[in-house]
Amino acid sequence: MGAGRFAPSPSGDLHLGNLRTAILAWLFARSTERKFLMRVEDLDRARAGAEAQQLSDLAAMGLSWDGEVVRQSERSNLYAAALDGLRDRGLLYECFCTRRDIADAPSAPHAAPGTYPGTCRGLTEAERAAKREMRPAALRLRTEVGSFTVTDELHGAYTGVVDDFVVLRNDGVPAYNLAVVVDDGIQGIDQVVRGDDLLSSAPRQAYLAKLLGYGIPAYAHVPLALNSEGKRLAKRDGAVTLAQLAAEGIDADAARAVILASLGLPTSSIDAALAAFRPASLPTDPWVFTTSPDARGTGKPIGWPS
């Protein structure tokens, strides 16, 4: 039996867009008889109390998960072992470039913006030693391809750039692209459902998974929730977290119903939605969610989608 997962970063409360993605990840996993795992990606931004609130909000949506919650902060030995294996194969090199260095460096013709141009790839040991005196090094993967193709259930075949991406930051923290691949591989995750803003990172991660001997998961990058300005939904957009909605008299069941309605699914319960769930019938456009201050007192809940 394979597994799907939801992996939030505990930087604050989940908003309705995050909860919508979590519900979709749960529906995809449960509808294919996979386990559904919960992973907290707390290597970087972790706010006190955020993890507990996020898990509480997910449970309030009716979501359940299998096994214990896994935290990246407790898995540093696994990331170190993966890095050691890549290093032993000569697949890592030190990089001393700043973001400004990369932005200002000449790039190959037709290279995607932000693609690493390989500045530090061919440094001599003497050059690396001199640069270490000025700043700590990150570690980059010495890739052997320029692109990689993944298959996505909603987007079909997707080919993206695979440059020499960072796997260990210069502050010693494993990079997201390494940690997520190691976690998915070790946890047996063979289905990744997440926002389509992360589609462009899938080829890098799939390529690294192949290098590390893991299977490449089935991907489904789902449309994001946007505000009325067409920007990614955020807490500043009004009553968009469960706590904010509760303050307006809207409970978790009503919030879940709004999300399920946006997916064209029955709103009575999460189990009814699961029974009707068909990936091919999912909306392909972003969900535009608006907050309407003048909705107070009209019987229309604050934050009802347009």
Annotated catalytic residues are 235
What is the rounded CA–CA span in Å between residue 295 and residue 281?
31
113 marked among binding-site residues: no
194 marked among binding-site residues: yes
8 marked among binding-site residues: yes
DSSP-derived 3-state class of residue 29 = helix
Q: What is the 3-state secondary structure (H, E, C) of 111-143?
A: CCCCCCCCCCCCCCHHHHHHHHCCCCCEEEECC
What is the rounded CA–CA span in Å between residue 123 and residue 111?
22
7 marked among binding-site residues: yes
176 marked among binding-site residues: yes
248 marked among binding-site residues: no
158 marked among binding-site residues: no
120 marked among binding-site residues: yes
Contact status, residue 242 vs residue 255, Cβ threshold 8 Å: yes
| Nearest Cα residue to 12 out of 54, 58, 72, 57 | 54
255 marked among binding-site residues: no
Residue with tokens 């090094």: 137
Binding residues: 5-9, 41, 95, 97, 116, 120, 176, 194, 235
Binding residues for Zn(2+): 95, 97, 116, 120
